[in-house]
Amino acid sequence: MKLLVLGATGPTGRHLVDLAVRSGDSVTALVRNPAGLGDLADRVTAVTGDATSPRDVSAAAAGHDVIVSALGRGNSVRADGLFTRASEAVIGAARDNGVSRLVWLSSFGVGHTFAWSSTAQKLIYSTLLRSLYADKAIADERIRVSGLDWTVVLPTKLTHGPAKGAFLADDRLPMKGNPSISRADVAAFMHRAAHGGEWIHRSPVITD
Ligand SMILES: NC(=O)c1ccc[n+]([C@@H]2O[C@H](COP(=O)([O-])OP(=O)(O)OC[C@H]3O[C@@H](n4cnc5c(N)ncnc54)[C@H](OP(=O)(O)O)[C@@H]3O)[C@@H](O)[C@H]2O)c1
Q: How many helices (H) and strands (E) does the chain have?
A: 6, 10
Confidence of residue 4 (pLDDT cuts 50, 70, 90): very high
* pLDDT digit string, tens, across residues 22-39: 999 999 999 999 999 999
> What predicted TM-score, i.e. pTM, was given to this entire model?
0.99
Confidence of residue 60 (pLDDT cuts 50, 70, 90): very high
Q: Is 52 in the pocket of ligand 1 (CB under 6 A)?
A: yes
Burial class (CB in 10 A: 0-12, 13-18, 19+), 1: middle
Residue whose CA lies nearest to ligand 1 atom number 8: 107
Q: Which atom of ligand 1 is nearest to the CA of 157?
A: 3
Please give the average per-residue pLDDT across 82-95, as a whole number: 99
Please give the average per-residue pLDDT across 144-172, as a whole number: 98
Confidence of residue 21 (pLDDT cuts 50, 70, 90): very high
Our measurement of the distance from residue 4's CA atom to the centroid of its chain's CA atoms, rounded to an integer in Å, reads: 12
Architecture of domain 2-207: 3-Layer(aba) Sandwich (3.40)
Determine the pLDDT at residue 70: 99
Please give the average per-residue pLDDT across 167-184, as a whole number: 98
Q: Is 74 in the pocket of ligand 1 (CB under 6 A)?
A: yes
**96 alpha carbon – ligand 1 mean position (Å):** 25
**30 alpha carbon – ligand 1 mean position (Å):** 13
Mean pLDDT over each residue of the chain, to the nearest integer: 98
Q: Domain extents for the chain?
A: 2-207
**188 alpha carbon – ligand 1 mean position (Å):** 16
Please give the average per-residue pLDDT across 66-87, as a whole number: 98
